[in-house]
């Protein structure tokens, strides 16, 4: 059934053509409203006039001579400290080095989680992932978590974000507090949305040029994320040359970003540079990030650059990314975020003695993706404990590479760190787990409760004991990306032979079967993937897609519904849910079909396709009412349809049943 499903990939390709084409975009992963705001903000007009109602209050605030400083937060995704000239002296990164040389610099700050969305949620909220509720990619920020951007917006700041990777798309909720959240991206080499540093910098500078002070801008660069494909002139020699080249390429644009800030704004500007996590590059046999909690993926650079206010100095303290927001607010003279895990490091930054608390780390990716044991860790001074089925203890002073496990030799240290770890885990979540949803969404959900999530059971395998399977999964993934479906399926099947509960192998073999057009087999395999991982959005999405393509709409609808529950701002989930409910053959499903399509239209207001789908659902209501002999209800439904989409009148006139209503 080509053309039936609305797919996020479709939207991403079209999105690269720019905001003006949004009116004809068939569907979207991401909201159109922020995109439209983005396109307006790049026009040569004052943003205060274009940012809509959300910032009207802020725009009305009178400019004062004693303004709060401006804040520029720059996060460079997937940045190992040793890719920077000022840390290891092996790469050419003059712009980053200049910021570091003039600021308070931490060559080894600590990320609480080596995953993009959770780490950025922690950067912006000051909360550990287990308390923010964002513990893996694709998990939206729950309602009630207050962020740095919201705090600054409350204080009259103009706010804007320019993000460059799919994990940070607005549907996951980090846009909260940003009057402008520009997540316009094209499809990158890996098939997911991303934006190169050139485009991100250009968009950010266009906003900064006319932004009303005080302003807060967050600029996120994603180029160093794999795959590593720097422009040829930045390619470095050696096994990590492509990775280092990406960092050097970003650095070139970082320099232009800095140079492009008007002097009036940069005279009173706090710039904070950080990464969300590192990259393993083969250390501990991990290629990228997310599987383990070794320093290779959790050490990050952090710089506070505030000329005239902070003296330049290098600090060896293990500052934490959760300290970034409270420290920034303190430096700006603003109230802290309440009840957070991070602390203000201002005393330390001002040269006073300050002990940084132990750093708590976690990764749920082994469990969520593969069905292996999740990991937690505590980094306290020289010691680092990784709590795993086979726990590890490292003396970082003597063993920076985390090569010698001291757990058996240092029982008292391990016990002390374990107790401290458990103490931190007693802290309650910072807010409810729920994400705010609209009335239409609630109606579409109906009576059916959400599927219960599975807590990791005891006895799961240790990820470090599954590296061979992990390699085979990566080989399968490479084959899938290259369209070699038979090879991909064979690789995943081999893993399932060794480990039948492997979530990734079930999901991705199902995806390969789907892409190969073997829909019945895909349905079976993806049903298994959903059983193994009821919380996984990707498995729900793939299974729902298969059922819809097979015309099995009664089976598809509950899967689209679960996807919408997990990612309630995901337009394609609502749209496909509504279309499936409209085709189940059960007239009672039509009301929820209308609600779901209304939600899709609400989330994607500039898209005429959403309106015509919704109008068609109202026409179906009219047909149902006529069948029940209720002509006045049929007339009301027809009027609603025509109000939503005037073209519905012609479609009704051409409809053998509805034509009696059209005069
Ligand atoms: Zn990242």
Q: According to the 3-state scheme, what is the secondary structure of 454-482? A: CCCCCCCCCHHHCHHHHHHHHHHHHHHHC
pLDDT digits (tens, 9 = 90+) for 7-48: 443 333 223 322 222 222 223 222 223 333 333 333 322 333
Give the distance (Å) from ligand 1 centre to CA of residue 196: 14
Give the distance (Å) from ligand 1 centre to CA of residue 20: 29
**% of the chain at pLDDT higher than 70:** 88
Q: Where are the domains of the chain?
A: 31-370
Res. 458: pLDDT tops 60: yes
- CB contact at 8 A, 589 and 581: yes
Pairwise pLDDT comparison (381 vs 542), residue with the higher score: 542
Q: Rounded CA gap, 401 and 321, in Å?
A: 21
Q: What is the mean pLDDT of residues 648-653?
A: 97
Res. 188: pLDDT tops 90: no
Give the distance (Å) from ligand 1 centre to CA of residue 369: 16
Give the distance (Å) from ligand 1 centre to CA of residue 76: 8
Res. 126: pLDDT tops 60: yes
Give the distance (Å) from ligand 1 centre to CA of residue 486: 31
Give the distance (Å) from ligand 1 centre to CA of residue 40: 28
Give the distance (Å) from ligand 1 centre to CA of residue 75: 9
Give the distance (Å) from ligand 1 centre to CA of residue 174: 14
Predicted pLDDT at 431 = 75
Give the distance (Å) from ligand 1 centre to CA of residue 417: 27
**% of the chain at pLDDT higher than 90:** 84
Predicted pLDDT at 190 = 66
Fold designation for 31-370: Alkaline Phosphatase, subunit A (3.40.720)
Give the distance (Å) from ligand 1 centre to CA of residue 456: 24
Predicted pLDDT at 435 = 77
**Range from 3-17, 22-36, 213-227, 473-487 carrying the lowest mean pLDDT:** 22-36
Res. 423: pLDDT tops 70: yes
Give the distance (Å) from ligand 1 centre to CA of residue 438: 30
Q: Rounded CA gap, 108 and 275, in Å?
A: 11
- pLDDT class of 61 with cuts at 50, 70, 90: very low
Q: Which of 262, 256, 264, 267 is nearest to 221 (CA)?
A: 256
Give the distance (Å) from ligand 1 centre to CA of residue 24: 31
The crossing angle, in degrees rounded to 10, of helices 467-481 and 503-515 is 20
Own/partner pairs, 556-565, CB within 8 angstroms, 24+ separation: 556/580, 557/581, 557/584, 557/589, 558/448, 559/530, 560/596, 561/444, 561/445, 561/448, 562/450, 562/451, 562/534, 563/537, 564/441, 564/444, 564/445, 564/596, 564/599, 565/445, 565/450
Q: Go through the chain and tell me how many residues it has.
A: 663
Q: What is the mean pLDDT of residues 288-293?
A: 98
Predicted pLDDT at 67 = 83
Res. 621: pLDDT tops 80: yes
């Amino acid at each position: 059934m080509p053309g039936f499903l609305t797919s996020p990939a479709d939207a991403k390709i079209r999105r690269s053509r720019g905001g003006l084409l949004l009116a004809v975009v068939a569907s979207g992963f991401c909201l159109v409203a922020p995109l439209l705001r983005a396109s307006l903000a790049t026009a040569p007009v004052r943003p205060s006039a274009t940012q809509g109602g959300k910032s009207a209050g802020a725009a009305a605030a009178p400019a004062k001579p004693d303004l709060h400083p401006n804040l520029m937060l720059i996060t460079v995704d997937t940045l190992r400290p040793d890719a920077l000239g000022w840390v290891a002296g092996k790469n050419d990164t003059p712009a980053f080095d200049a910021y570091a040389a003039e600021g308070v610099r931490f060559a080894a700050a600590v990320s609480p989680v080596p995953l993009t969305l959770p780490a950025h949620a922690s950067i912006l909220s000051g909360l550990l992932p287990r308390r923010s509720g964002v513990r893996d990619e694709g998990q939206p920020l729950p309602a009630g978590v207050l962020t740095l951007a919201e705090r600054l917006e409350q204080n009259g700041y103009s706010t804007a974000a320019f993000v460059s990777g799919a994990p940070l798309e607005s549907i996951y909720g980090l846009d909260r507090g940003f009057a402008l959240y520009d997540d316009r991206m094209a499809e990158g080499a890996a098939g997911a949305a991303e934006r190169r540093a050139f485009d991100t910098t250009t968009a950010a500078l266009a906003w900064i040029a006319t932004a009303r002070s005080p302003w807060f801008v967050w600029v996120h660069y994603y180029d160093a994320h794999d795959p590593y494909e720097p422009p040829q002139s930045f390619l470095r020699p050696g096994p990590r040359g492509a990775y280092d080249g990406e960092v050097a390429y970003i650095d070139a644009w970082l320099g232009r970003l800095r140079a492009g800030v008007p002097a009036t704004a940069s005279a009173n500007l706090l710039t904070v540079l950080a990464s969300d996590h590192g990259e393993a590059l083969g250390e501990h046999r991990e290629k990228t990030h997310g599987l383990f909690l070794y320093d290779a993926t959790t050490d990050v650079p952090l710089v506070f650059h505030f000329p005239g206010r902070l003296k330049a100095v290098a600090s060896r303290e293990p500052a934490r990314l959760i300290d970034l927001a409270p420290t920034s607010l303190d430096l700006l003279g603003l109230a802290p975020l309440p009840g957070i895990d991070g602390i203000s490091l201002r005393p330390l930054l001002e040269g006073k003695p300050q002990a940084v608390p132990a750093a708590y780390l976690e990764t749920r990716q082994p469990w969520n993706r593969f069905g292996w044991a999740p990991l937690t860790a505590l980094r306290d001074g020289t010691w680092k404990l990784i709590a795993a089925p086979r726990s590890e203890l490292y003396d970082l002073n003597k063993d920076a590479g985390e090569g010698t496990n001291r757990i058996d030799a240092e029982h008292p240290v391990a016990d002390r760190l374990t107790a401290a770890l458990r103490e931190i885990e007693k802290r309650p979540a910072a807010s409810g787990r729920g994400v705010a949803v609209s009335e239409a969404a609630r109606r579409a959900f109906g009576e059916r409760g959400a599927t219960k999530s599975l807590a990791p059971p005891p006895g799961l395998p240790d990820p470090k004991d599954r590296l061979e399977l992990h390699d085979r999964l990566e080989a399968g993934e490479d084959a899938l990306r290259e369209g070699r479906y038979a090879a991909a399926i064979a690789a995943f099947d081999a893993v399932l032979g060794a480990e039948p509960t492997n979530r990734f192998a079930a999901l991705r073999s199902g995806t390969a079967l789907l892409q190969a057009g073997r829909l019945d087999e895909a349905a079976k395999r993806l049903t298994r993937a959903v059983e193994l991982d009821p919380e996984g959005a990707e498995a729900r999405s793939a299974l729902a897609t298969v059922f819809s393509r097979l015309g099995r709409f009664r089976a598809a609808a509950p899967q689209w519904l679960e996807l919408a529950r997990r990612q309630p701002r995901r337009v394609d989930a609502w749209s496909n849910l509504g279309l499936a409910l409209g085709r189940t053959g059960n007239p009672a499903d039509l009301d929820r079909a209308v609600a779901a399509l209304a939600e899709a239209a609400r989330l994607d207001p500039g898209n005429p396709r959403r309106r015509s789908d919704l109008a068609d659902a109202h026409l179906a209501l009219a047909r149902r009412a006529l069948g029940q002999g209720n002509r006045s209800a049929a007339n009301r439904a027809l009027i609603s349809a025509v109000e939503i989409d005037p073209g519905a009148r012609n479609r009704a006139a051409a409809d053998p049943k509805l034509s009696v209503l059209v005069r």
